[in-house]
Amino acid sequence: MSDSAVLYPAETNSGTVTSYVPLTTTWTPPSECYTKYRLDGPSLMAFDPAYGLDVETGLVCGPPAMTTWWEQGLLGDHGSYATRISIGPMSCPDNWSTLASSTKDSSSILQMCCPSGFYLGDAIPGSVAGNCLSNVFSGMTLTYGSTAYDDSTSWSMATTTLTSISTVGAIGLVGWNIKYPSTATATSMTSTTTTTPSTSTATSMTSATTTTPSTSATSQNSNSGSSSGLDTGAKIGIGIGIGVGAIGVIALLTTLYLFRRRKQRTTAEPDQSLSYHYPQPPAMSIPQAPYQQQSPAELDAPKLRPSQPAELSSRN
């Protein structure tokens, strides 16, 4: 079977280079990802790419491209670099839905995916803004990873039983789908996987939402492919843009694991009040909120939260 992926070229705008990481194969998350949370500030967050890096290394709750995009700040000097990573082209993971989209021009569409069972809170119509939220209710017991007040590197699992209705969050996946003109330099990359009856295996994976009133389950075969791309001899190679493939993503994830510099989490017990604290991804516009927004690893908050992302150049 042959899979062809379009690789978007890197773009430079106002001195900032944006490289694109493709996510074109539908990724199926393990069912445990719906019920295991990472304590981010006062909020419990599902599908945080840092969960598999910090808390439980055997559980991967996002495709490699999502981890590379969300944790890109760990590959540089706290956001002072002039290169950013965006996802594009993008396909939502299996059992996720597109809950927000924004059209830059006739050829550029930005979209946001949330997991099944989550809705879009704080949405702004016509823009990619808001939070993936799910309601949780009194009496529910939630499992999460957290650290002590004085140690932000030693993670352990804990549980909490809710005494009132509240919300949990999930990291939304944000990426681009761009239709380039015929004269553009988008590159097509093809990978081929050969299987035989004696070696092929069909793997069934079930995704179930257990923390929300509406529970869904799906079963599908998982597909594998291979591709080539990023030069691992470079420091991080994110400026190459058009050469990011499966090998490059693996190299980036390895670097992420070695350079974990997560900010200290401030509490060992989640706040059960309805206030919500969501670490926004880089391509989102940030709505006004009555609380202090927390910056994810890839954002040096004052500098790399522009009103218009670097990759949003005008296309004719």
* CA–CA gap between residue 195 and residue 217 (Å, rounded): 28
Domain that holds residue 111: 2-192+220-258
Q: Are 37 and 145 in contact (CB under 8 A)?
A: yes
pLDDT value at 47 more than 80 = yes
Ramachandran assignment for 73, one of left (phi > 0), alpha (psi -120 to 50 degrees), beta (any other): alpha
Whole-angstrom CA distances from 65 to 58, 92, 99 are: 17, 12, 20
pLDDT: which is higher, 228 or 292: 228
What's the structural domain count of the chain? Answer: 1
pLDDT value at 197 more than 60 = no
Residue 209 maps to a domain: no
Which pLDDT score is estimated for 33? 94
Share of the chain above pLDDT 90, in %: 37
Which residues are CB-contacts of 200 (< 8 A; sequence separation ≥ 6)?
A: none
Which pLDDT score is estimated for 6? 79
Which pLDDT score is estimated for 16? 87
Q: Are 297 and 73 in contact (CB under 8 A)?
A: yes
Going by pLDDT thresholds of 50, 70 and 90, the confidence category of residue 148 is confident
Residue 65 maps to a domain: yes
Residue 312 maps to a domain: no
Which pLDDT score is estimated for 181? 75
* CA–CA gap between residue 268 and residue 274 (Å, rounded): 17
User: Environment class of residue 258 by beta-carbon count within 10 Å: exposed (0-12), middle (13-18) or buried (19+)?
Assistant: exposed
pLDDT in tens, 236-290: 443 444 444 444 555 455 545 544 544 433 334 444 432 333 333 333 222 222 2
- Overall average pLDDT of the 104-112 stretch: 89
Cis preceding linkage at 290, omega within 30: no
Residue 57 maps to a domain: yes
Ramachandran assignment for 221, one of left (phi > 0), alpha (psi -120 to 50 degrees), beta (any other): beta
pLDDT: which is higher, 306 or 178: 178
Residue 305 maps to a domain: no
Residue 113 maps to a domain: yes
pLDDT in tens, 59-100: 999 999 999 999 888 876 544 557 899 999 999 999 999 999
**Residue for token digits 């681009």?**
176
Residue 43 maps to a domain: yes
Strand partners, 189: 5
Please give the biggest Cα pair distance in the chain: 60
Look over the chain and give the mean of its residue pLDDT values, rounded to a whole number: 68
Residue 129 maps to a domain: yes
Which pLDDT score is estimated for 312? 35
pLDDT: which is higher, 41 or 293: 41
* CA–CA gap between residue 68 and residue 240 (Å, rounded): 14
Cis preceding linkage at 49, omega within 30: no
